[in-house]
Homo-oligomer: A and B are copies of this chain.
Amino acid sequence: MKDSAKISPSVIRRLPRYYRFLRDLENEGISRISSKALSEKMGVTASQIRQDLNCFGGFGQQGYGYNISDLKSEIAGILGIGHTCKIILIGAGNLGRAVATHMPFEALGFELAAIFDAASLFSGLKIKDLPIRSMDNLNDFCRLHKPQAAILCVPDDSAKELVTRLSSLGIHSFWNFTHYDISKDHPDAIVENVHLSDSLMTLSYQMKCSL
């Protein structure tokens, strides 16, 4: 395997999609696939696939295709899937509950370790066998369990203060569903933003252009 630092960011951005298709193929009991067959399945050109997967060298043999399990493990290694990372969820509203119930955390290398919400309304409720905890318990929990990442499903106006608090508790990686710009105040934080309203505006733009 090439040093992952040498793989271009655009290839890295495409890896999760390769991983997903390879996992599905493996689940179907398929062990090898040609770049042509994979390209038809994924709707990209075979040459793009060869170029992308070339980075990992040696997996695609002329005439034999790719060994699905090896290639999937290789990509999993690069993406960091495999070490388990403890992540906590803050905010158990509809969005937080959707994230907690829908995301295949374990398959993606995360352990959802706890769920917190500011509203006492939820106390006593459970999501996926995890109790919804009070924010009063956040500091104790973090000191004891040392989660490395947090999912932010809180209202925008409480995000800034929350990130400061989480940083002081040793959490510097965020899956951020709010509009708060974490990187601006915390330039060293690792941040992956999900901006759903930007995505909906992009749809609106594409629809308008097609009129």
Contacts and interface: CB of A to CB of B under 8 A. Distances in A.
A42 to B, nearest CB: 7
A203 B173 contact: yes
A43 B181 contact: yes
Interface residues of A, number: 58
Contact of A78 (B12, B13, B78, B205): B205
Nearest to A42: B181
Given A4-B209, A207-B148, A20 B94 contact: no
**Most chain B CB inside 10 Å of its own CB: which residue of A81, A109, A204, A209:** A204
B104 A94 contact: no
Contact of A204 (B79, B184, B198, B203): B79
Interface stretch (A54-62, A63-71, A136-144, A188-196): A188-196
B209 A5 contact: yes
Contact of A205 (B12, B43, B97): B12
Interface of A: 4-5, 12-13, 15-17, 19-20, 42-43, 78-81, 83, 85, 93-95, 97-99, 101-105, 108-110, 148-149, 173, 175, 179, 181, 183-184, 190, 192, 194-210
